[in-house]
Amino acid sequence: MKPPQRIALAGFLLCGTLAGCASESTLLRLDTGLTEADLRQGKIAVLGVVKYQEPDQVRPPLVAMLERTLAEERRDIPLIRADSVRSVLGPERYRRILLAYEYQGTLDSAALREIADSLRGKARFVVLARVTRERIRNSARGVSAADTGVIRPEYAMGITGRDASVQVHLYDVSRSELVMSAAYEGSSENSKPILASVLPGAPPGVTVEVGPQAVPPESQGYPPPPELALALEEPFRAFARALPVTPRPPVPPQPAGSR
């Protein structure tokens, strides 16, 4: 094998990850009185992220993703981390409030009063999210020269994707009111070459679904699914960007001849 071909094949055997694919969004509620100044002065406390009918152990990476995306997208808004909120609420009360939210999809007025009393003015707003659905899918597509630098017809690109539906809620605990909520569909994909044929005569780049059910990656040579947190990255970023922003005043034109 010639050296250039060895280099191309080495690149071909690498796995790829496409994290945070574009998400679909639906803004369910936005209080018209909510302003950027309110958020900046009142601060946002991250309460948590839950997944319906899943144990608490799945939450930490999801919470970390929500905190990271909020901090990166809205540096102007002070953020209180979930660990601090859990500390002031206490483990038992914190777990009870999140469990109720997991099954009901909302925070009731009693829970909001408890949170407000515990925060004692440290934050006026709390944000939390609820994953309502996820799906693992497998597909394959033909390998193109763009993937490898060489055409390898005996290979296909195996793709394992994770799709997730999530709702995000922002509450004003000083008024015990929901001020913003939105629903999102997010996804992420892993890909790698697999020894499998695609449809006869299919051009490179065609996508072929592998049956109606998700095929276990270990039995078909597909890559493992991406972490759920990666599928939630774009939804969480979209929510952060949707938070109110004060329009900047236009820059007045400089007088002619000025420097």
What letter would DSSP give residue 44? E
Residues 217-249 pLDDT 10s: 444 577 888 999 999 999 999 999 999 998 766
Within 8 A by CB and 6+ apart from 45, the residues are: 79, 80, 84, 85, 119, 122, 123, 125, 126, 127
> Domain residue spans in the chain?
12-242
What pLDDT, on a 0 to 100 scale, did the predictor assign at position 246? 80
Structure tokens at 118: 């515990």
Instruction: Report the C-alpha gap between 128 and 168 in whole angstroms.
Output: 6
Q: How confident is the model at residue 210 (pLDDT cuts 50, 70, 90)?
A: very low
C-alpha dihedral over 109, 47, 31, 242, to 10 degrees? Answer: -160
Residues 128-157 pLDDT 10s: 999 999 999 988 776 555 555 444 555 677
Given a contact cutoff of 8 angstroms between Cβ atoms, the answer to whether 186 and 163 are in contact is: yes
Q: How confident is the model at residue 258 (pLDDT cuts 50, 70, 90)?
A: low
Q: What is the mean pLDDT of the chain?
A: 81
Is the pLDDT confidence value at 211 over 50? no
Angle ∠(77,80,84) on CA atoms, nearest 5: 175
- Which amino acid is residue 256, in one-letter code? A
Residues 65-104 pLDDT 10s: 999 999 999 999 999 999 999 999 999 999 999 999 999 9
What pLDDT, on a 0 to 100 scale, did the predictor assign at position 22? 53
Given a contact cutoff of 8 angstroms between Cβ atoms, the answer to whether 136 and 160 are in contact is: yes
What pLDDT, on a 0 to 100 scale, did the predictor assign at position 96? 97
CB atoms within 10 A of CB 94: 20
Instruction: Report the C-alpha gap between 124 and 115 in whole angstroms.
Output: 10
Residue 165 CA, distance from chain mean position: 9
